[in-house]
Amino acid sequence: MKPIILTFTSFYLPGYRGGGPIRTIANMVERLSDHFDFRIVTSDRDLNDKQAYQDIQIDAWNAVGKASVFYASPAMRSLTGLAQILRETPHSILYLNSFFDSRFTLAPIFARWLLLAPKRPLVVAPRGEFSTGALRIKAWKKCPFIKVARAIGFFKDVYWHASTELEAMDIQRVLGVKNKNVHVARNIIIAPDIFQSETIPGGQVRNKSQSDPVLNICFLSRIVPIKNLEFALRVLSKVRAPVAFNIFGPKEDAGYWMKCQVLIESLPVHITVRDCGSVNHSEVKHVVESHDLFFVPSLGENFGHVFMESLSAGVPILVSDRTPWRDLEQLGLGWDIPLSRPENFVLAIEQAAQFSALERIQIKSRCINYAQKKSYDSSAVELNRDLFTTALASAN
């Protein structure tokens, strides 16, 4: 019998507005299901939706791909409801996909704390929440909670899942945990449908010519402060080249979106902006490949699946230096620039606007080749398998 990994996460398939964590867990299930039995507890609706998913059983287990998924109603997402799921679902490991999520992380841990649920090896994946940029957002609430949690040992005996060495250092710095309790396991990447004939190296690129001088730039992410759309708009206000800036993503933070709208209205006439709404994961590649540049200057990422999607589509990326995607200019894949140098973001955009058709074909080829190599990296699978094997060993 395979060990059971009971996974709690805010959003899962068929949802898509929750961003990268959905893909991370789906890929993990796909690649590790021969070794582990994944049972996933999640919300019964996608981010910002008022209605539950159609054609699923609410507050019951559903077969979704290679996993069993429990779509919890609002009533079931209470402390008592989640504790009931923990008690009634046999599991070898409890795997939580956030640090600050009150429903799907803190409630299950609190249930264990109160002895309302069995204690099994606990693995927590903070998903970039301890980066400097992420912690600055609502620091007034996060920092006191971290201090209290450390003081009372709320996260005692946790195995921490870091996606990169950088995230591992963030976890140790913020929580003061021992190195042996932090396991680095890169996100598993699966790209079965992104390398199709229209995106082979040297293939077609968007037909941008001298008669079409506008640079098409894509922003595709959740509209929240950490994704830094506000910064992107301030950069664009300084760009002299004509730009069409298309914004895709759910407006998770309505107040933040209002600030961005004010900036949009003040942009010069040669910078046009379109609010394109949310995009289903199955449509991301098609959406991105119609652009010349992908621009999300995030305040912090533990991975950033959407950057991989962009490279897979042959589109270079422009990001901050606070993600694992580094040395992009040297690799010919785009730019990673410190947020303290907004003028360098401006220069990068104006440089992209001047690329010739030949240069753009060469860049497309490099991006796709790089994404292919990343996609078939089997070591990430083994590292994730080792993470759970190590946690299991602690119970013996």
d(CA 351, CA 354): 5
Report yes or no: 231 and 342 within 8 Å, Cβ to Cβ.
yes
pLDDT of residue 374: 82
Please tell me whether residues 166 and 286 are part of one structural domain.
no
Please tell me whether residues 24 and 56 are part of one structural domain.
yes
Counted domains in the chain: 2
Please tell me whether residues 371 and 382 are part of one structural domain.
no
Phi, psi of 227, deg, nearest 5: -80, -15
Phi, psi of 80, deg, nearest 5: -65, -35
pLDDT band for position 282 (cuts 50, 70, 90): confident
Report yes or no: 291 and 206 within 8 Å, Cβ to Cβ.
yes
User: What are the tens digits of pLDDT across the range 138-151?
Assistant: 999 999 999 999 99
pLDDT of residue 179: 82
Q: Are strands 215-220 and 243-248 parallel, antiparallel or unpaired?
A: parallel
d(CA 269, CA 246): 15
pLDDT of residue 327 exceeding 70, the answer is yes
Q: Residue 337 forms beta bridges with which residues? A: 320
Mean pLDDT to the nearest integer, 26-42: 95
Report yes or no: 53 and 14 within 8 Å, Cβ to Cβ.
yes
The type of residue at 358 is: L
d(CA 98, CA 210): 47
HSE at residue 193, side-chain half, CA atoms within 13 A, is: 6
pLDDT band for position 201 (cuts 50, 70, 90): very low
pLDDT band for position 190 (cuts 50, 70, 90): low
Mean pLDDT to the nearest integer, 146-161: 90
Average pLDDT taken over every residue of the chain = 91
Mean pLDDT to the nearest integer, 255-284: 95
- Residue carrying structure tokens 């940029």: 133
Report yes or no: 199 and 313 within 8 Å, Cβ to Cβ.
yes
Is residue 180 classed as helix, strand or coil in its secondary structure? helix
d(CA 110, CA 119): 11
User: What are the tens digits of pLDDT across the range 213-246?
Assistant: 899 999 999 999 999 999 999 999 999 999 999 9
In angstroms, the Cα distances linking 211 to 208, 273, 311 are 8, 20, 26
Q: Are strands 293-295 and 243-248 parallel, antiparallel or unpaired?
A: unpaired
pLDDT of residue 20: 84
pLDDT band for position 85 (cuts 50, 70, 90): very high
Please tell me whether residues 371 and 383 are part of one structural domain.
no
Please tell me whether residues 310 and 362 are part of one structural domain.
yes
Please tell me whether residues 82 and 152 are part of one structural domain.
yes
Q: Are strands 293-295 and 158-162 parallel, antiparallel or unpaired?
A: unpaired
Please tell me whether residues 292 and 360 are part of one structural domain.
yes
pLDDT band for position 203 (cuts 50, 70, 90): very low
pLDDT of residue 396: 64
Please tell me whether residues 69 and 82 are part of one structural domain.
yes
| Residues counted in the chain | 396
User: What are the tens digits of pLDDT across the range 289-320?
Assistant: 999 999 999 999 888 889 999 999 999 999 99
Please tell me whether residues 281 and 318 are part of one structural domain.
yes
Q: Residue 295 forms beta bridges with which residues? A: 318
Please tell me whether residues 240 and 276 are part of one structural domain.
yes
pLDDT band for position 110 (cuts 50, 70, 90): very high
Please tell me whether residues 61 and 138 are part of one structural domain.
yes
* Lookup: tokens for 152: 């009372």
Alpha helices per DSSP H over the chain: 20-32, 79-88, 107-113, 132-136, 139-152, 165-175, 229-236, 254-265, 284-288, 305-312, 328-331, 342-353, 357-375, 379-393
pLDDT band for position 58 (cuts 50, 70, 90): very high
Domain extent, residue 90, equals 4-189+378-393
Which domain CATH number covers 269? 3.40.50.2000
Please tell me whether residues 317 and 256 are part of one structural domain.
yes
Q: What percent of the chain has pLDDT over 70?
A: 94
